[in-house]
Structure 1
């Protein structure tokens, strides 16, 4: 049977953009402080049993893909039982969603991942539960129920002025936080929406429940850490100090169980608001990096991201030297990066160059390595991974009718593996470059003070006296600049960037890394 393979024109164009690199150091794992974490939505990853839904056994089968890419850890979006496809409203904190498998399946996954030196981090959603959680089912039965104070309840007349709240925050466009369960005069608080009632962390019993849950996943299951969802909203926004204190207490309780536990928090706000969380959450997602990267491309301004990142690192460094900057270029809540860059393949490949040559501990969202597309609503940012052409793809999930993850728009992994300049092979190359050159993984970030064209993003990375100069041309026009004295060695070149007789030539969207 003849099969017609349709390859998107964007991928065909990539074959004209060459990459060369020189590396001298050995391959190293710098996780957690500077290693690479791969984010997986199991529902869409790999279906091992043919029911159309991705599962834990499917991830176990595809661990080699994560290893081949060069990632050091996996962060799983929620895996616990839930009535929603995304599973951010938990009904049982000590179980696996049955669509995904069993606890034994997950323990096997962890064992196999650890054999490959891959750490496992799971989403921990403790700001709220589902309304279907047994705690809430009990809580709403009456004011005298022992679970009543597991949640935040108030009489209607005491919160009348808040019932039609119109404030929209950075991380929620929900305009109603108090919800009527439909029986009686009492309302419950749910920051994100009515199906997600907030837990009451003023109640010591709730805090102890959460610590017991953490202990279960660390001791009995064997995970390496937690991604803490909605970490800013444990207590209301007008009680930030209570939030900070809770996370310090949480960290102390978890380190009693696992001294080297990895904790990364989602605190979506300005750096001044984010910084006080560091004593409790030593790793924090850098939302500024994501948005400033896109702004730099939009404005064709090379200074924006470097100056922003330098300011953040210096600011956090003045507070503590024990923090991990979790950088990312896209995730499950943001449009896919290729969509944000107008589906420009040169920009897209350069953007991962930027992520991997900046300080931090980068996160990669599943599917980015093959140039998957996706845009709001969120379901279409979380579409099925394309392993092979549809006729051959036994593991492709079918739980959703994809709008973007189709062969006509995205070239499957099996095809990309055979194309030397595919997105996948580019990701592998730049990740390997980072993992074999300590200045790129562990080095400091220093600004390049000389005058350069505004289209160029230029910065130094230095570690133990080894100093690299990194240059990205964010424009579609060739740029030139002189190399600093004694910088004569080319470490890496993308899109035909060159160094000759002290002169650097940078075609549109090219990258150069040079050293002494």
Structure 2
């Protein structure tokens, strides 16, 4: 197969992603986890059930603590997601598995019965598309559950063709497991039959779910799969459906990886912002990390980076910033204003709290009285701006750190003179007043810029503005073209100019 060189589906760049952990989002049909246990679910050895208003309990049994969320519950809550304004749903695994996270898959072709059925999944896909949204599904191809029938057969029969699906160190008891976990044996993709079974074959896992109507995949631990395999996955998916996307989880700097897939769920920018908040990076160091993105990656790769606010693998933002609550709007603003696709983990929009796994996987809080209204207002406004402002979705970036080192400031702009925004963040405890010269042709004199949050207005004069940023203030300054309606860099000239 020839590697493709195109930039992939552009719709990803216009997305606001909403990540759902199905077991903890909603239960359909007005039922409870106890009702479902009465139907025979959650009865395996070690399984426990908890009511929706309880919290996950850390410990050895945390992966078998069930709250009852399912696909029907997600479908019933689609109006909520429509109102929120997100347009791409990302589901973590829902396949047959002994655990609540389901990254240790037993059967990639089967919906876990506690989550529903294949029919329930297809109804969910249909409903999501009817709402004008898309859906990508999480899939862990690096490893399977040690209860997967193929692995069980490989261990039972030394002559089985499935033995080479895995890497045994001392057959049958020692084998390569993901991060050393024996419950998740790694697949051996050096075996062409493994590649055929999971990726390229006519009856492969990827082809199966594309036939069910999904709009793409998020590949768990893509850095463990490696760049060549990720390119093959992307090329295979693109051959089947050119409009489907492949996104990979990469913990490190996304350079190189971004060329092997359509989007990268990277922790790089998030880690840089957190390092700054914790005092491990100064403003100069944070500027350098941001420059690593805008200065070293092509634009289409920048726009495909997933700017995650949180996830099922990290503490929730309100909890993470408990000692720095004044920097909450800075963190959220960076996720939406910086190049890339904002990814909202379920409940973050309402300020849900929770520490490390499993506390960050608590059931969704549906009562508005439990919501942090300041957080909700902040997310509502940023999502609205993302929908309205094309420069935030697909614009280039001009970093301004060389002219205002006290602030994090940058311009997002498109090729159209009216489509630009100036993002300004003061992440310090001191007010900042600075004369800022803007290296951008369309900030003409007498034009007013207005902050999308406070309504504060700033006048441009000869390409410069005077900024007054309060401690910890976040602002997005937008041009008010009404302030100079007779001025334009793109006036149509319909008559030829005659030189006499």
Fold shared per TM-score above 0.5: yes
Contact 2:307 2:341 in 1 (8 A): yes
Per-residue CA distance 1:223-269 (angstroms, 9 max, x = gap): 111000111223xxxxxxxx322222222222221111111001222
Partner of 1:50: 32
Structure 1 segment 62-461 matched on structure 2, within 5 A: 62-155=77-170, 181=173, 187-192=174-179, 193-211=181-199, 212-219=204-211, 221-234=212-225, 243-269=226-252, 271=253, 274-299=254-279, 301-317=282-298, 324-342=304-322, 344-376=324-356, 378-388=357-367, 412-413=370-371, 422-448=374-400, 451-452=403-404, 454=406, 456-461=407-412
Q: 1:298: how far off?
A: 2.8
* Cα deviation, residue 323, structure 1: 6.7
TM-score for both structures, normalised by structure 1: 0.76
- Check conservation: 1:490, 1:512, Cα contact below 8 A: no
Rate the CA distance shift 1:301–1:459 in 2: closer, same or farther, 3 A: farther
Task: State the alpha-carbon separation in 1 of the partners of residues 456 and 10 from structure 2.
Answer: 28
Secondary structure of residue in 2 paired with 1:32: helix
Runs of 4+ in 1 over 6 A off after TM superposition: none
Tell me by how many angstroms 1:154 deviates.
Answer: 2.8
Aligned length: 418
Aligned position for 2:471:
508
CA distance in 2 between partners of 1:292 and 1:34 (Å): 24
Instruction: Kindly state the Cα deviation for residue 283 of structure 1 after the two structures are TM-superposed.
Output: 0.9
Q: Which residue pairs with 2:430 in the alignment?
A: 477
Higher relative contact order (CA 8 A, sep 6+): 1
Partner SS, residue 363 of structure 2: coil
Q: 1:443 to 1:347 in 2, by over 3 A?
A: same
CA contact (8 A) 1:74 1:119 kept: yes
Q: Distance in 2 between matches of 1:468 and 1:442?
A: 12
Deviation of the 1:493 alpha carbon = 4.6
What is the TM-score of this pair, normalised by structure 2? 0.78
Structure 2 residue 420 is matched with structure 1 residue 467: yes
Distance 1:30 1:69, change over 3 A: farther
Could you tell me whether the CA contact under 8 Å between 1:302 and 1:458 is conserved in 2? no
- Between stretches 87-96 and 297-306, larger displacement belongs to 297-306
Task: Classify 1:306/1:488 alpha carbon distance in 2 versus 1 (closer, same or farther; 3 Å).
Answer: farther
Q: Which runs of 5+ in 1 are unaligned?
A: 1-28, 157-179, 182-186, 235-242, 390-410
Contact 1:495 1:509 in 2 (8 A): no
Stretches of structure 2 that go unaligned for 5 or more consecutive residues are 1-8, 34-66, 438-442, 480-500
Compare 111-120 and 337-346 and name the one that shifted more. 337-346
The two structures, once aligned, show a CA RMSD in angstroms of 2.5
| Residues 1:107 and 1:423: Cα distance change in structure 2 (over 3 Å) | same
